[in-house]
Amino acid sequence: MELPKGLAGVVVDQTKVSSTKNAVLTYAGYPIKELKDAPFEEVVFLLWHTRLPSADELSEFRKRLVSEMVLPEKTVQLITRITYEPQHPMSILRTTVSLLGTTNDVKRDDPPRILAKLLTAIAAIIRIRDGQPIKHAQKGWGVVENFIYLFSGQRPTPERVAMFNTVMVLHADHEFNASTFTARVVASTQADYYSCLTAAVCALKGPLHGGANERVFKMLETIRDTGQDPVQYVKDQMASGHKIMGFGHRIYKNGDPRAVILREVARKIAHETDNDSYFVLQEQIKDYMFKATHLHPNVDYYTALIYHCFDLDKQTFTMMFAACRTAGWLAHIVEQQAEGCLIRPSSEYVGETNRHYPSR
**Residue 56 maps to which CATH number?**
1.10.580.10
Q: Are residues 202 and 255 in the same domain?
A: no
Q: Are residues 57 and 194 in the same domain?
A: yes
The single-letter code of the amino acid at 172 is A
Phi first, then psi, for residue 148 (nearest 5°) are: -60, -45
Q: Are residues 192 and 263 in the same domain?
A: no
What does pTM read for this prediction?
A: 0.93
- What's the average model confidence in pLDDT over 108-128? 95
Q: Is residue 351 part of a domain?
A: no
Q: Is residue 84 part of a domain?
A: yes
Instruction: Indicate whether 7 pLDDT > 70.
Output: no
Q: Which of 260, 266, 261, 269 is nearest to 282 (CA)?
A: 266
Predicted pLDDT at 6: 63
Instruction: Indicate whether 107 pLDDT > 90.
Output: no
- What's the average model confidence in pLDDT over 46-58? 98
Q: Are residues 258 and 128 in the same domain?
A: no
Structure confidence by residue, pLDDT tens digits, 83-102:
986 789 999 999 999 999 88
Instruction: Indicate whether 67 pLDDT > 80.
Output: yes
Predicted pLDDT at 2: 67
Structure confidence by residue, pLDDT tens digits, 141-193:
999 999 999 999 999 999 999 999 999 999 999 999 999 999 999 999 999 99
Predicted pLDDT at 47: 98
What does DSSP assign to residue 36? Answer: T
Q: Is residue 305 part of a domain?
A: yes
Predicted pLDDT at 193: 95
Alpha carbon distances (Å) from 166 to 26, 27, 39, 136, 144: 15, 14, 8, 23, 10
Q: Are residues 240 and 166 in the same domain?
A: no
Sign of CA dihedral 259, 263, 266, 268: negative
Q: Is residue 29 part of a domain?
A: yes
Provide the β-strand partners of residue 19.
Answer: 26
Predicted pLDDT at 5: 64
Percent of the chain with pLDDT over 90: 83
Instruction: Indicate whether 12 pLDDT > 80.
Output: no
Predicted pLDDT at 307: 98
Q: Are residues 154 and 279 in the same domain?
A: no
What total number of domains does the chain contain? 2
Q: Are residues 216 and 196 in the same domain?
A: no
Q: Are residues 289 and 327 in the same domain?
A: no
Q: Are residues 53 and 120 in the same domain?
A: yes
The boundaries of the domain holding residue 301 are 212-309
If one compares 285 and 350, the residue with the highest pLDDT of the two is 285
CATH code at position 303: 1.10.230.10
Domain boundary among 287, 309, 331: 309
Instruction: Indicate whether 9 pLDDT > 70.
Output: no
Q: Is residue 143 part of a domain?
A: yes
Predicted pLDDT at 108: 74
Mean of all residue pLDDT scores within the chain: 93
Q: Is residue 68 part of a domain?
A: yes
Catalytic residue positions?
249, 300
Instruction: Indicate whether 138 pLDDT > 90.
Output: yes
- What's the average model confidence in pLDDT over 100-127? 90
Q: Are residues 193 and 291 in the same domain?
A: no
Q: Is residue 3 part of a domain?
A: no
d(CA 45, CA 68) in angstroms, rounded, equals: 16
Sign of CA dihedral 210, 177, 57, 60: negative
Q: Which residues are CB-neighbours of 54 under 8 A, at least 6 positions away? A: none
Q: Are residues 60 and 121 in the same domain?
A: yes
d(CA 242, CA 228) in angstroms, rounded, equals: 17
Binning pLDDT at 50, 70 and 90, where does residue 226 land? very high
- What's the average model confidence in pLDDT over 225-243? 95
Q: Is residue 14 part of a domain?
A: no
Structure confidence by residue, pLDDT tens digits, 247-303:
988 888 888 999 999 999 999 999 999 999 999 999 999 999 999 999 999 999 999
Predicted pLDDT at 347: 79
Domain boundary among 309, 324, 354: 309
Percent of the chain with pLDDT over 70: 96
- What's the average model confidence in pLDDT over 188-202? 96
Binning pLDDT at 50, 70 and 90, where does residue 199 land? very high
Determine the angle formed by the axes of helices 111-129 and 193-204, rounding to 10 degrees: 50
Q: Are residues 194 and 260 in the same domain?
A: no
